[in-house]
């Protein structure tokens, strides 16, 4: 998979992509990440990428000309790609969307800035508009970091273990169950005995119950779309009785 990021602050991405899973995935040629400075696609001597909005108002807007040139350059003769604008007005980024994007051969991320991008870019070139949450950031660069990290984890062999992503929060539609490690007793708090008895079937049932419980208490909205079995529904009723809202 190849990810191209269009930004006016390419320096932001230097360090984050040089560590951890993203670094290993690049070294293994599982993913290629290219950072493109939008100013490189300007023709004026001052490399201007923004201007005042028509109709008045505060702030600046990213101009269409350099954005068109950048996207057309990156998408020339390219199939199975998506041009994604990172913007507060986009659909909320979630695991389902991450999985869909991770299957692309090429993903182009546009980092919005200031008051946004000229709407003609959206109308003509953008495939998806994505927001990482209902809050305001300085720019799309920080959202791009989150999107890239989420996608790389889904690329086969990136984590080194096929089961790793399947057992994480949201992959099953639920939040994850609690996790523990050694020592078994710390400051008079003990790891649940069931996790120490070696019975993998009992452990799996315990983890499923705890995942359902955590989701009900913290993110009950996720239960509406989760793929729940008859046993899950039975357990969930018990949980709701124990923790009524």
Please give the domain boundaries of the chain with CATH numbers for all domains.
2-152 (3.40.1280.10), 185-242 (1.10.1270.20)
Model pTM above 0.85: yes
Indicate the length of the chain as a whole number: 245
Helix (H, G, I), strand (E, B) or coil at 83: strand
Q: How many CB atoms lie within 10 A of CB 24?
A: 16
> pLDDT tens digits, residue range 198-215?
999 999 999 999 999 999
Residue written as token pair 């932001």: 12
> pLDDT tens digits, residue range 80-133?
899 999 999 999 999 999 999 999 999 999 999 999 999 999 999 999 999 999
The rounded Cα 19 to chain-centroid distance in angstroms is: 17
Distance, in Å, from the CA atom of 49 to the CA atom of 10, rounded to the nearest integer, reads 14
Residue 63 backbone zone (phi > 0: left; psi -120 to 50: alpha; other: beta): beta
* CA distances to 61, 180, 181 from 185, in Å: 57, 10, 10
Least trusted range by pLDDT, from 21-25, 172-176, 182-186:
172-176
Nearest to 33 by CA among 55, 52, 17, 12: 17
> pLDDT tens digits, residue range 180-189?
999 999 999 9
Q: What is the DSSP letter of 53?
A: P
Determine the pLDDT at residue 165.
54
């Amino acid at each position: 998979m190849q990810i191209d990021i269009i930004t006016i602050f390419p320096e932001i991405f230097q360090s984050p992509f040089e560590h951890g899973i993203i670094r290993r995935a690049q070294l293994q040629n599982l993913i290629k990440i290219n950072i493109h400075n939008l100013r490189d696609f300007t023709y004026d001597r001052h490399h201007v990428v923004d201007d005042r909005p028509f109709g008045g108002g505060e702030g600046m807007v990213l101009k269409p000309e350099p954005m068109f040139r950048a996207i057309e350059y990156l998408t020339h003769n390219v199939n199975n790609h998506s041009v994604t604008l990172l913007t507060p007005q986009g659909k909320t980024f979630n695991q389902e969307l991450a999985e869909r994007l991770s299957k692309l051969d090429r993903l182009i991320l546009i980092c919005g800035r200031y008051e946004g991008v000229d709407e003609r870019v959206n109308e003509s070139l953008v495939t998806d508009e994505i927001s990482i949450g209902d809050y305001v950031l300085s720019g799309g660069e920080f959202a791009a970091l989150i999107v890239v990290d989420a996608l790389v984890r889904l690329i086969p062999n990136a984590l080194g273990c096929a089961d790793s992503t399947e057992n994480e929060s949201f992959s099953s539609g639920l939040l994850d169950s609690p996790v523990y490690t050694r020592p078994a007793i710390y400051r008079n708090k003990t790891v649940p005995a069931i996790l120490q008895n070696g019975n993998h079937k009992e452990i799996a049932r315990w983890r499923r119950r705890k995942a359902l419980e955590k989701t009900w208490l913290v993110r009950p909205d996720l239960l509406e779309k989760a793929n729940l079995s008859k046993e899950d529904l039975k357990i969930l009723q018990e949980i709701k009785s124990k923790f009524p809202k």
